[in-house]
Amino acid sequence: MDQDRLIPLRRPPRLLVEPGLWVPPGADLDAVDRAFQAACRDNPRLHDGPIWHVLSHSRDGHGGVTLHLMESAYRFQAVARREHRDRPGPARPLGVKCLARSPRGWLMGRRSLRSLTYGGLWEFLGGGSLHPAEEPGAAALRELREESGAQAAGPAVPVALLFDGQVGTWDIVHRVEVHGVTGDPASWEHEEVVEEAEPARREPASRATVLLRPLAVE
């Protein structure tokens, strides 16, 4: 497992895009296609699409981080997660996460057992891959709406950059104030959604959730 990282941010990270399409070194594309089709049979809600792969990162000493990115495809991440459940594969996808707080507590969800990672574990809502055409803050609010039904009461503010060494993912973490959960969330990813005043009470929790708990303060 690679080393976890939690880097505080004073301003949004810079995203520098390198030309080309990232493909896992030595990948057999026909084998990847077959493995992804098998994953889709197991979970018909999976779908392919463009995502960012993180080539490297650098800190600028002023509370900022620069991420060097190359476009890739979600199928490489999905296949790696399916085949390497006990360790990260070569993909290093970039996503977004929220620390969303309502007047009643922090929005958290227990992941579905059908999820490719962290099935049955608790996590902060929302979160997901960052599409190349999206701005990170807008993606964070979209994921939050999809997973909790919550409406933001203000902007999504980037507060940290997280690397989860257990699954090999990077995430831009945003703090969001929300009005609360409204109705049943439309997302298939979670079996249960709650507003929790004390996040440490929700166990078992994903590695990313454990890393983010110190940031879930008033």
Q: In the CATH scheme, what is the code of domain 5-215?
A: 3.90.79.10
3-state secondary structure (DSSP) of residue 13: coil
Contact 107, 125 (CB under 8 A): yes
Residue 19 to residue 52: CA distance in whole angstroms: 12
- Confidence band, pLDDT 50/70/90 cuts, at residue 42: confident
pTM: 0.92
pLDDT tens digits for range 135-166: 999 999 999 998 888 889 999 999 999 999 99
Q: What is the mean pLDDT of the chain?
A: 90
Nearest to residue 42, comparing CAs of 74, 77, 82, 80? 82
Contact 136, 51 (CB under 8 A): no
pLDDT tens digits for range 73-122: 999 888 877 776 657 788 899 999 999 999 999 999 999 887 778 889 99
| Whole-number CA gyration radius for the chain | 17
- The residue extents of the domains of the chain are 5-215
